[in-house]
């Protein structure tokens, strides 16, 4: 019997739609307390994987049978094993594809507005880290603002809507993520814009 898998994109939609989800997080308690998947109607149980090596019998009564259940770990492997044991015990569960690493890197494009002269603005939500980047599209050209290091999503998205990225902008030095701005400019041949003070700090201060 094949296990159910849930992608970061599917979990993101549940966050946006304020759906219910029960998350069994099998990372260490300190990692769980530092950072977890957050949703308005999500419930949680944190039991470290090493406590479940001999079986899941002791936690079965803590997992709802009437709610969608997602097993989460750091990189996927542990959650697959726990989900498999829970499935064998008769529960309908899924595991998070790619684990929390994939969750931290997922970018969800959301259209947030139209320009007056034939264009659109898209917001890329890095929901696992609370970061935002933007793409402004007009007449087949796109400006990318505050790109993260996960550059493929922007390239694929622009190609999907038939736009060429011609400008890349970093509005400030980022404390919350590694900028992908310079890489994007090199990949696309776009003009790279950033504040002069940040340019000095980025390239000349070590």
What CATH number does the domain containing 180 carry? 3.60.15.10
For residue 36, what are the domain limits? 4-103
> Mean pLDDT, the chain, as a whole number?
91
Asked if residue 201 has pLDDT above 60, the reply is no
CATH code for the domain of 18: 3.40.250.10
Provide the pLDDT confidence category of residue 3 given band limits of 50, 70 and 90.
confident
Percent of the chain whose predicted confidence (pLDDT) is above 90:
82
* β-pair type (131-138, 119-126): antiparallel
**pTM of the predicted model, to two decimals?**
0.83
pLDDT at res. 205: 39
Total domains, the chain: 2
pLDDT at res. 2: 65
Does residue 122 sit in the same domain as residue 172? yes
Question: Quick one: average pLDDT of 82-100?
Answer: 95
Does residue 121 sit in the same domain as residue 87? no
Name which residue leads in pLDDT, 147 or 117.
147
**Which domain-ending residue is among 66, 88, 103?**
103
Residues marked active site are found at: 73
Does residue 159 sit in the same domain as residue 71? no
Give the tens place of pLDDT for each residue, 102-145: 999 999 999 999 998 889 999 999 998 888 999 999 999 999 99
Question: Quick one: average pLDDT of 148-173?
Answer: 94
Does residue 200 sit in the same domain as residue 140? yes
**Which domain-ending residue is among 53, 85, 103?**
103
**Which domain-ending residue is among 82, 103, 124?**
103
């Amino acid at each position: 019997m094949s296990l159910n898998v849930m992608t970061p994109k599917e979990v993101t939609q549940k966050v946006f739609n304020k759906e219910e989800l029960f998350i069994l997080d099998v990372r260490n308690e300190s990692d769980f307390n530092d950072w977890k998947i957050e949703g308005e109607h999500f419930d949680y149980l944190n039991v470290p994987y090493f406590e479940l090596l001999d079986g899941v019998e002791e936690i079965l009564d803590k997992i709802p049978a009437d709610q969608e259940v997602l097993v989460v770990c750091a990189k996927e492997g542990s959650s697959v094993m726990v989900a498999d044991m829970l499935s064998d015990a008769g529960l309908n569960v899924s595991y998070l594809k790619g684990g929390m690493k994939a969750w931290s890197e997922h970018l969800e494009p959301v259209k947030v507005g139209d320009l007056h002269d034939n264009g659109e603005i898209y917001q890329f939500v890095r929901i696992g880290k609370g970061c935002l980047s933007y793409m402004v599209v007009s007449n087949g050209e796109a400006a990318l603002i505050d790109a993260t290091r996960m550059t493929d999503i922007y390239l694929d998205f622009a190609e999907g809507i038939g736009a060429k990225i011609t400008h890349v902008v970093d509005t400030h030095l980022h404390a919350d993520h590694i900028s992908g701005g310079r890489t994007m400019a090199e990949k696309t041949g776009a003009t790279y814009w950033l504040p002069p003070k940040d340019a000095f700090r980025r390239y000349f201060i070590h």
